[in-house]
Structure 1
Amino acid sequence: MPTFSYILLDDDETRDLGEDLALTVRPGDCLALRGDLGTGKSALSRALIRGVAGDDSLEVPSPTFTLVQSYELRFPIHHFDLYRLADESELAELGLEEALSRGVVLIEWPDKAGSALPKDAIDIEITHRAEGGRNLTITCGEGRFPDRLERVRALRAFMDANGYQGARRHFLIGDSSFRAYERLTLPDGEKLILMDSPARSNGPPIRDGKPYSQLVHLAENVRPFVAIGDYLRNIGLSAPEILHGGLDAGMLIIEDFGSEGVLDAAGKPIPERYEEAMRCIANMHRQQPPAELPVRWSRDGQSHKIPSFDRATLKFEAEVLLDWHIPWLRGGEKANAAEARDYLAIWDHLIDQLDGLETNLVLRDFHSPNIMWLPERKGFDRVGILDFQDAIIGPASYDVVSLAQDARVTVERPLMERLIEIYMSAREAQGPFDRKAFLKSFAIMSAERACRLNGLWVRLWQRDGMEGYMRHMPRTLWHLSMAFEHEVNAPLKDWCRRMGVRFEAVPQPVPA
């Protein structure tokens, strides 16, 4: 069984380990804490719970008398102390089985749980050291816990090697199974971000011998983030400064842009901030990026070649509507061969219409979750740009669509039209700019993005169990209806009407 050993010389090191464990545990984990009275089981538990909460002031009383204390945090935590347990049968009344099914469970004096203790419990043994402090040993059974703990330890070593000993760590966000972010608080109060992005596991090939990530050109390691981030800052945009990089390990320490975004307290767009964000995109399009970008810290001298939003990628994304939305509409029945053939032929025609229209760097997810507001800066420099590692060369209209037709929040039509006008006016001020060609490109990419999203919401629900994303569908169907106002999309509009896609019934504007 994997074993991890620690020497904890003082309470600060116990707290640090608790924070590391807070970044390791997942719902379903059971930690069995063993040790004599006074060895620090409750101190470690308190640090772990506060670490998950991200709140040093959270009251975490000992459950010695209540036997269990529960905390509804970013996932539930249940802290049991079985020292006073008279009989194993009392565990049913305490709700141990339910706690194990829905959250993380910490158990002090686990021997009293008897047969109720899960066989895959993570064993934590704490003893006093004769020289002072504590010895702590973690013994893991089967499962992913050892891999997660090893990664958290490696991240701690990366921090220490770059001079951040004693930094506090708290989970910030995890945007996928392979990428997560922590907020570091240094002893002097400065805050930074630790980016944890190990190399992507590509998965099985699904078309033309390529896995999904390669078909849609998703970043497979941190090199694109470093290269694109440096490029954005070099052209005067506000991407986070990258302070330290471990390219092979997939670890970066970057500037912290804080937590102020572009939405108000009610979750609605703040017009001034969206307008500055649109000016930011227009400024990015002042120049064409080079085909390849240098990668800092790259020992092999390799550069990052920016991939292209080619025909295969555009069609593959558009097919998500065909593969998921249509069967959902039809109660599981897929489009027949003729219907699918017509749909793909329409997209071949639309992609042909993009030939000769302007291309530039496409950030791909330039919308409210990935835009921060930096009030201490001036002009569009106040727009902090995140999540650009999947940047690609494609239609210049794409990021304008992403912002003006934000998939996560309703941008009502007057603001949306003002944003598009801000972009076009800014581009005209830079030099020759073809409005008609841009609006055609905008309509095609609006349709492409809406087709993908209206299929994606169904896929996230039916395949991944994330039903909450379905709340966005009325909004993205509304976006599709607006894309159909342009004549270039008439064949796609007719196909969707024949298939029963309900874009025409969507109210306008859609509530947030």
Structure 2
Amino acid sequence: MTSSPDIDREDRRRAFLAQAGLADARRAPLPGDASTRRYERLTTPSGTTLMLMDQAPSAESPPADPSWDEARRRAEGWNATARLSAGRIEAFAAVAAHLKGLGLSAPEIVALDPESGLAVLEDFGEAVFARVIEAGADPRDLYFAAIEALARLHAAGPPPEVLDGPGGPWPVQDYDTVALQAGADLFVEWLPKLEPGLAFDAAAIEAWRAAWLPVVEAGAAGASVMAHRDYHAENLIWLAERAGPARAGMIDFQDAVRAHPAWDLHSLLQDARRDVAPELEAAALDRYFALRPETDREAFMRAYAGLAALNEARILGVFARLIVRDGKPRYAAFMPRMWDHLRRNLETRGLEAVARWFAEHAPGEIGR
């Protein structure tokens, strides 16, 4: 009789924890998200808490090798096409070390087995930005700390092409035209599967890509800083006892790439999961430009609106896929917010071609 993969995986977790001196730790699984990772909070007999991060290396298609061309990336699957890390533990460990080297808050790696996809991390606690704000904290304090962290990350300039992390080297690749356009294309691929009234023929898809081309090219050309890539109030932990930008504890940054500095800003300030008041968005942007006075604000804001719109189209496609393919209907609740952000961004000068595409091919959606 052969053992099940789940039992084999549990045996590996137990062996890893024993080797790390944590065999007696009490284990409490955390709720899952949209990824293939799982987390457990570990409580040692002394009361110290840690986090077990579990990402089987074989759970997803492979990440992109920097030497692969577009055809090879597409043949290898979504992670290679979009330049995602496939959740690799060594990616998380390498990015964490880089962030910590800049004085930013990433979890300490306590134990690591990259071949098995297991790590024990410092526990930042449960003060997720979104929950702290819901409990009555002034959102300006938290968002300004997150902005200060981004300003420091951007001031460091381009990250090394290869990070030397505790789990081994990890490449930092550009969020290039292939990855950006593939993200936008999730909209035309998955929205018709969620909304039967939508149908995009070959001509419509060709027009879609032509409309986005200036945004995609500008985003790729401006890839000059490390981007967390999923920087928002559910992936930031409030570390009130720390100072300045270190108060923003970062998690889930394993998909970091070299990208336009606007990317993480719009992820934070035009959040899919919670409303950010327009006046707070404006104040946070003012804070960023005050910390980065050398930035050409007008050009930056054109890129900000364009990349935000592209990301909102991408997220609408992701949510449609999660609902249709993965049976996760709760993501439908987030979609109206994304439509609102998209409508607002499409009023920006330079996005007229994209706005015309929506008016012609999805007028009912964009007009909601």
1:447 correspondence with 2:309: yes
In the alignment, the residues of structure 2 paired with residue 409 and residue 210 of structure 1 have an alpha-carbon distance, to the nearest angstrom, of 34
Residues 44-99 of structure 1 show CA distances to partners (whole Å, capped at 9, x for unaligned) of: xxxxxxxxxxxxxxxxxxxxxxxxxxxxxxxxxxxxxxxxxxxxxxxxxxxxxxxx
Query: What is the CA distance between 1:325 and its match in structure 2?
Result: 2.1
Q: 2:152 corresponds to which letter in structure 1?
A: N
Q: Which among 410, 419, 438 is matched to residue 300 of structure 2?
A: 438
2:347 aligns with 485
In the alignment, the residues of structure 2 paired with residue 189 and residue 424 of structure 1 have an alpha-carbon distance, to the nearest angstrom, of 43
With a CA cutoff of 8 Å and minimum separation of 6, indicate the structure with the bigger relative contact order. 2
Does structure 1 conserve the Cα–Cα contact (< 8 Å) formed by 2:174 and 2:223?
A: no
Does structure 2 conserve the Cα–Cα contact (< 8 Å) formed by 1:238 and 1:381?
A: yes
In the alignment, the residues of structure 1 paired with residue 223 and residue 122 of structure 2 have an alpha-carbon distance, to the nearest angstrom, of 32
Going from structure 1 to structure 2, the CA distance change for 1:2 and 1:397 (only over 3 Å counts) comes to: same
In the alignment, the residues of structure 2 paired with residue 268 and residue 322 of structure 1 have an alpha-carbon distance, to the nearest angstrom, of 39
Residues 399-440 of structure 1 show CA distances to partners (whole Å, capped at 9, x for unaligned) of: 000000011111121111111221122111xxx221112111
Going from structure 1 to structure 2, the CA distance change for 1:162 and 1:203 (only over 3 Å counts) comes to: closer
In the alignment, the residues of structure 1 paired with residue 190 and residue 137 of structure 2 have an alpha-carbon distance, to the nearest angstrom, of 29
2:334 aligns with 472
TM-score by length of 1: 0.66
1:11 aligns with none
In the alignment, the residues of structure 1 paired with residue 31 and residue 218 of structure 2 have an alpha-carbon distance, to the nearest angstrom, of 39
The gaps in structure 2 that reach 5 residues or longer are 63-70
Q: Which among 209, 220, 224 is matched to residue 91 of structure 2?
A: 224
Identical residues among aligned pairs (%): 31
Residues 363-401 of structure 1 show CA distances to partners (whole Å, capped at 9, x for unaligned) of: 111011111011111122111000000001111100000
Other structure's SS at 1:243 match: strand
What is the aligned length?
356
In the alignment, the residues of structure 2 paired with residue 378 and residue 501 of structure 1 have an alpha-carbon distance, to the nearest angstrom, of 47
1:368 correspondence with 2:223: no
1:378 correspondence with 2:240: no
Q: Which among 4, 8, 11 is matched to residue 153 of structure 1?
A: 11
In the alignment, the residues of structure 2 paired with residue 214 and residue 201 of structure 1 have an alpha-carbon distance, to the nearest angstrom, of 14
1:173 aligns with 31
Q: Which among 178, 183, 199 is matched to residue 334 of structure 1?
A: 199
Aligned residues: CA RMSD: 2.2
Residues 81-120 of structure 1 show CA distances to partners (whole Å, capped at 9, x for unaligned) of: xxxxxxxxxxxxxxxxxxxxxxxxxxxxxxxxxxxxxxxx
2:66 aligns with none
Query: What is the CA distance between 1:183 and its match in structure 2?
Result: 0.5
Q: 1:283 corresponds to which letter in structure 2?
A: R
Other structure's SS at 1:183 match: strand
Other structure's SS at 2:356 match: helix
In the alignment, the residues of structure 1 paired with residue 344 and residue 9 of structure 2 have an alpha-carbon distance, to the nearest angstrom, of 46
In the alignment, the residues of structure 1 paired with residue 101 and residue 164 of structure 2 have an alpha-carbon distance, to the nearest angstrom, of 12
Matched ranges for 1:75-90 at <5 A: none
Query: What is the CA distance between 1:201 and its match in structure 2?
Result: 3.8
Matched ranges for 1:487-502 at <5 A: 487-502=349-364
Q: 1:380 corresponds to which letter in structure 2?
A: P
Q: Which among 408, 414, 417 is matched to residue 273 of structure 2?
A: 408
Matched ranges for 1:308-323 at <5 A: 308-323=174-189
Matched ranges for 1:182-261 at <5 A: 182-203=40-61, 208-220=74-86, 221-261=88-128
Going from structure 1 to structure 2, the CA distance change for 1:320 and 1:169 (only over 3 Å counts) comes to: same
Matched ranges for 1:337-352 at <5 A: 337-352=202-217
Query: What is the CA distance between 1:237 and its match in structure 2?
Result: 0.2
Q: Which among 292, 312, 321 is matched to residue 162 of structure 2?
A: 292
Going from structure 1 to structure 2, the CA distance change for 1:471 and 1:2 (only over 3 Å counts) comes to: same
Q: 2:163 corresponds to which letter in structure 1?
A: L
Q: 1:491 corresponds to which letter in structure 2?
A: A
Other structure's SS at 2:76 match: coil
Does structure 1 conserve the Cα–Cα contact (< 8 Å) formed by 2:54 and 2:117?
A: yes
In the alignment, the residues of structure 1 paired with residue 332 and residue 54 of structure 2 have an alpha-carbon distance, to the nearest angstrom, of 29
The gaps in structure 1 that reach 5 residues or longer are 4-145, 507-512
Other structure's SS at 1:488 match: coil
Q: 1:394 corresponds to which letter in structure 2?
A: A
Residues 332-363 of structure 1 show CA distances to partners (whole Å, capped at 9, x for unaligned) of: x5212211111111122322334653621111
Matched ranges for 1:85-164 at <5 A: 146-164=4-22
Going from structure 1 to structure 2, the CA distance change for 1:283 and 1:343 (only over 3 Å counts) comes to: same
Query: What is the CA distance between 1:203 and its match in structure 2?
Result: 4.5
Q: 1:365 corresponds to which letter in structure 2?
A: D
In the alignment, the residues of structure 2 paired with residue 275 and residue 199 of structure 1 have an alpha-carbon distance, to the nearest angstrom, of 36
Structure that is richer in helix per residue = 2
Residues 156-192 of structure 1 show CA distances to partners (whole Å, capped at 9, x for unaligned) of: 1111112123111110233356311111101110000
Query: What is the CA distance between 1:206 and its match in structure 2?
Result: 10
Structure showing greater Rg: 1
Query: What is the CA distance between 1:503 and its match in structure 2?
Result: 5.9
TM-score by length of 2: 0.90
Other structure's SS at 2:234 match: helix
Does structure 2 conserve the Cα–Cα contact (< 8 Å) formed by 1:446 and 1:483?
A: yes
1:277 correspondence with 2:146: yes
Going from structure 1 to structure 2, the CA distance change for 1:150 and 1:379 (only over 3 Å counts) comes to: same
Q: 1:346 corresponds to which letter in structure 2?
A: A
1:325 correspondence with 2:191: yes
